[in-house]
């Protein structure tokens, strides 16, 4: 399980190892930071480089208590010291040292740490650097940028983000007037960090907010921060920075997972609330975590001390300063670095493999003025979201609703069209238009070879499909027409029987395939178009399987054994499909993943994936989201979040070769087979 990752890397963080007298033996040499204090804080800085200066690695640095059982903490060699005792003043020696482990197979995940702005300087506390280094990360400083687009490209190089402490937020970001207790604000940081938080979330980059950072997260994601708290507990301590001065209670979320309890709670106290001791330097605090987060810890006076993401993204915020708490603050940084490492591995894997989603219905929104080339909140698939989710190719279908008895097709769609075939042509025209607008970034692929060619050229692919053979208008010649347009599969029917076959949600009009349906399958085989049996009745499914000379597919279906819905495949269907060389693409619609009243999560989806692999074998399973037809599973709710599937599979130690098969290799194998058999 996810939280076990942390359990295994986290040292005991329980109090009691250190006596109060030991804590007191660690006076800080600097004025404690009070975020947003009325007198503008100056950063603790060490520019002298003198031996024994505070914050320098080696010996006691003035922050970590002396006399701990582990004398090696903080690590040697983590942060460069100008007074390094081993310095020989030979440049060749240090260059040789840099190459001594070459090639370095243990690349550290890059953790971006937001900088403070102090007059003309960008700076931050060395404690952040030290903790990240000790946790196994590679710290880099993220300086505020004016240019929002530059900010986005900056995130391409980081695997994790720390939003650091500092001054107050301008209340205007929350639409509020300032109260008397408001402290100093830092406009450059506000703008940059609020943007950074949103962009990092969209890109699934693991995030840790500290003090001001948790407040940044709350404001960025629709929560709220109190400008000046008045409370019986002192939240702005005068004690040394590493000294905990009050307690918090961390609430278990239940069900395990990557939550605050999993990070800081230890297994011994598994189901019991227990106090955790923290330091405190703030006068603003989150009072509403917003829709994407939940409160994970409070102090005795009810102040929010921690929050965690509820959508499955790796994002935690704490009000205290773990960077100042030495070993006891380390588990949060170990959590971040561990998440960043998995994220980095996922990105790297997606660069090397082909990722194909076999079904989305986005084109039906193209009539409504959506913009596929920019990030459009009205659709789940657009080009920026494909970049963010690291998805190479998507099958975009023209979905045709099945008219009810007595209803005309033109009444069911948003365009004025003569009939189903001209509607499909119009949809494909629109997709071609979009691709023409961005030829260097997007292309229509007609074959697996096209998809690989696009990836090599740095382009995304759109592959065309038709959902509902109604588009053929009972004319077999239309199949050739649509193949010429680039269509690679046709879903024989939708919800309701048509002239080709019976639907899973129909009334058994034909008892399976109609005789026209049999001709359709033969013609699709002849032209190399895949036969898609998602939405088909079981009778249609088995008859098509029997008849088709090439493997069939189910482009977006889940497992009946886990969710009893007529649209899902039974284990017997899955076995028959695999035996015929076909592929089943697990879909992301919550109604096909979980029963009514139960929430489908990314874990539910993964369970379906593993069940299908158990029944069919790894060579016959894939992923078909059905986005913009359905969707809405938290954590994988749009194309931008699809890399989270890979993150989860890597956590479950699925071999990369298997992930590659699920993410498109199986699907493209069947497409290749069908196209190769065409004559
Ligand atoms: Zn669909
Ligand atoms: Zn569908």
**Each residue of 135-177: pLDDT tens digit?**
999 999 999 998 998 898 899 999 999 999 999 999 999 999 9
Q: Is the separation of the CB atoms in 284 and 225 below 8 Å?
A: yes
114: tokens are: 């937001």
Average pLDDT estimate for 3-27: 34
Which pLDDT score is estimated for 382? Answer: 96
Give the pLDDT confidence of 641-662 residue by residue, as tens digits: 999 999 999 999 999 999 999 9
Which pLDDT score is estimated for 556? Answer: 97
The closest alpha carbon to 155, from 212, 110, 89, belongs to 110
Compute the distance from residue 598 Cα to the ligand 1 centre, in Å: 23
pLDDT at 31 over 90: no
Ligand lying closest to the C-alpha of residue 360: 1
Compute the distance from residue 480 Cα to the ligand 2 centre, in Å: 23
Q: What is the pTM of this model?
A: 0.85
Kindly report the number of other CB atoms within 10 A of residue 511's CB atom: 12
299: tokens are: 């102090």
Compute the distance from residue 491 Cα to the ligand 2 centre, in Å: 8
Ligand lying closest to the C-alpha of residue 398: 1
Within 438-567, residue ranges assigned H as helices are: 448-456, 477-485, 515-527, 538-547
Task: Report residue 5's pLDDT band, with 50, 70 and 90 as the boundaries.
Answer: very low
Out of 79-83, 138-142, 407-411, pick the least confident.
79-83
Compute the distance from residue 415 Cα to the ligand 1 centre, in Å: 18
pLDDT at 19 over 60: no
Which pLDDT score is estimated for 258? Answer: 52
Compute the distance from residue 504 Cα to the ligand 1 centre, in Å: 14
Give the rounded percent of residues in the chain with a pLDDT score beyond 90: 67
Q: Is the separation of the CB atoms in 285 and 226 below 8 Å?
A: yes
pLDDT at 206 over 60: yes
Compute the distance from residue 67 Cα to the ligand 1 centre, in Å: 64
What average pLDDT is seen over the chain? Answer: 86
Rounded distance, CA 420 to CA 410, Å? 8
Task: Report residue 38's pLDDT band, with 50, 70 and 90 as the boundaries.
Answer: very low
Out of 102-106, 499-503, 586-590, 626-630, pick the least confident.
102-106
Using alpha carbons, list the distances in angstroms from residue 154 to 110, 215, 551, 609, 641.
12, 22, 45, 34, 19
Which pLDDT score is estimated for 87? Answer: 61
pLDDT at 288 over 70: yes
96: tokens are: 């040789």
Average pLDDT estimate for 406-429: 91
Compute the distance from residue 672 Cα to the ligand 2 centre, in Å: 23
pLDDT at 98 over 60: yes
Task: Report residue 264's pLDDT band, with 50, 70 and 90 as the boundaries.
Answer: confident
Ligand lying closest to the C-alpha of residue 357: 1
Compute the distance from residue 256 Cα to the ligand 1 centre, in Å: 34
Compute the distance from residue 364 Cα to the ligand 1 centre, in Å: 10
Contacts 24+ apart (CB under 8 A), 453-460: 454/392, 454/393, 455/354, 455/392, 455/393, 460/383, 460/386, 460/391, 460/392, 460/393, 460/394
Compute the distance from residue 576 Cα to the ligand 2 centre, in Å: 21
Compute the distance from residue 534 Cα to the ligand 2 centre, in Å: 7
Which pLDDT score is estimated for 118? Answer: 87
Beta bridge partners of residue 117, listed in sequence order = 122
Out of 35-44, 121-130, 498-507, pick the least confident.
35-44
Q: What sign for the dihedral angle of Cα 470, 471, 477, 483?
A: negative
Task: Report residue 105's pLDDT band, with 50, 70 and 90 as the boundaries.
Answer: low
Average pLDDT estimate for 13-29: 33
Which pLDDT score is estimated for 397? Answer: 98
Compute the distance from residue 514 Cα to the ligand 2 centre, in Å: 21
120: tokens are: 């003309």
The residues, any chain, with a CB within 8 Å of residue 95's CB and separated by 6 or more, are none
577: tokens are: 């499909």
Which pLDDT score is estimated for 329? Answer: 93
Compute the distance from residue 626 Cα to the ligand 2 centre, in Å: 7
């Amino acid at each position: 399980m996810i939280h076990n990752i942390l359990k295994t890397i986290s040292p005991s963080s329980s109090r009691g190892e250190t006596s109060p007298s030991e804590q007191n033996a660690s006076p800080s040499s600097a004025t404690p930071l009070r975020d947003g204090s009325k007198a503008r804080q100056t950063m603790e800085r060490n520019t002298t480089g003198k031996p024994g200066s505070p914050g320098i690695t080696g010996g006691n640095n003035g922050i970590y208590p002396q006399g701990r059982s582990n004398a090696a903490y903080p690590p040697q060699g983590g942060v460069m010291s100008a007074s390094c005792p081993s310095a020989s003043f030979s440049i060749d020696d240090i260059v040789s040292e840099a190459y001594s482990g070459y090639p370095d197979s243990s690349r550290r995940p890059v953790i971006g740490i937001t900088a403070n702005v102090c007059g003309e300087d960008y700076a931050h506390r060395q404690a952040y650097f030290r903790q990240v280094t000790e946790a196994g990360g590679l710290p880099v400083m993220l300086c505020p940028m004016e240019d929002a687009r530059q900010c986005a490209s900056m995130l391409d190089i980081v695997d994790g983000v720390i939003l650091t402490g500092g001054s107050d937020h301008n209340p205007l970001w929350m639409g509020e007037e300032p109260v008397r207790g408001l402290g100093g604000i830092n406009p450059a940081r506000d703008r940059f960090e609020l943007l950074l938080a949103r962009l990092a979330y969209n890109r699934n980059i693991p995030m840790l907010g500290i003090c001001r950072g948790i407040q940044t997260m709350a404001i960025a994601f629709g929560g709220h921060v109190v400008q000046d708290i008045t409370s019986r507990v002192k939240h702005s301590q005068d004690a040394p920075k590493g000294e905990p001065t009050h307690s918090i209670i961390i609430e278990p979320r239940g069900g395990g997972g990557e939550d605050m309890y999993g990070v800081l709670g230890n297994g011994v106290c598994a189901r019991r609330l227990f106090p955790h001791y923290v330091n405190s330097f703030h006068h603003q605090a989150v009072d509403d975590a917003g829709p994407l987060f939940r409160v994970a810890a409070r102090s005795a006076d009810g102040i929010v001390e921690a929050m965690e993401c509820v959508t499955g993204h790796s994002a935690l915020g704490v009000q205290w300063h773990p960077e100042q708490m030495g070993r006891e603050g380390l588990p949060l940084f170990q959590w971040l670095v561990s998440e960043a490492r998995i994220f980095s591995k996922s990105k790297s894997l997606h660069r090397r493999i082909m990722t194909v989603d076999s079904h989305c219905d986005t084109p039906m929104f193209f009539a409504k003025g959506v913009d596929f080339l920019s990030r459009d909140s009205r659709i789940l698939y657009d080009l920026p979201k494909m970049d963010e989710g690291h998805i190479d190719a998507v099958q975009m279908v023209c979905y045709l609703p099945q008219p009810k008895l007595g209803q005309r097709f033109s009444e069911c769609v948003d365009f004025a069209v003569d009939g189903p075939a001209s509607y499909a042509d119009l949809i494909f025209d629109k997709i071609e238009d979009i691709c023409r607008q961005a030829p260097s970034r997007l292309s229509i692929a007609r074959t697996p070879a096209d998809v690989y060619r696009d990836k090599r050229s740095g382009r995304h692919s759109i592959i065309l499909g038709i959902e509902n053979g109604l588009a053929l208008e009972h004319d077999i010649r239309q199949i050739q027409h649509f193949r010429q347009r680039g269509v690679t599969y046709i879903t024989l029917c939708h919800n309701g029987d048509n002239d080709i076959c019976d639907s899973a949600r129909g009334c058994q009009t034909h008892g399976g395939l109609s005789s026209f349906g049999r001709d359709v399958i033969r013609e699709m085989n002849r032209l190399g178009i895949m036969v898609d049996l998602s939405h088909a009745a079981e009778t249609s499914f088995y008859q098509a399987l029997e008849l088709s000379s090439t493997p069939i597919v189910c482009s977006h279906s889940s497992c009946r054994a886990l969710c009893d819905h007529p649209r899902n495949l039974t284990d017997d269907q899955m076995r028959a499909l695999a035996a015929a060389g076909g592929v089943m693409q697990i879909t992301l619609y919550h109604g096909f993943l979980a029963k009514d009243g139960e929430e489908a999560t990314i874990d539910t989806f993964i369970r379906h994936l593993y069940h299908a692999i158990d029944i069919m074998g790894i060579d016959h399973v894939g992923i078909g989201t059905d986005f913009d037809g359905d969707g809405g599973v938290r954590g994988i709710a749009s194309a931008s979040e699809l890399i989270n599937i890979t993150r989860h599979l890597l956590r479950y130690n699925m071999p990369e070769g298997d992930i590659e098969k699920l993410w498109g290799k199986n699907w493209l194998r069947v497409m290749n087979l069908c196209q190769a058999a065409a004559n």
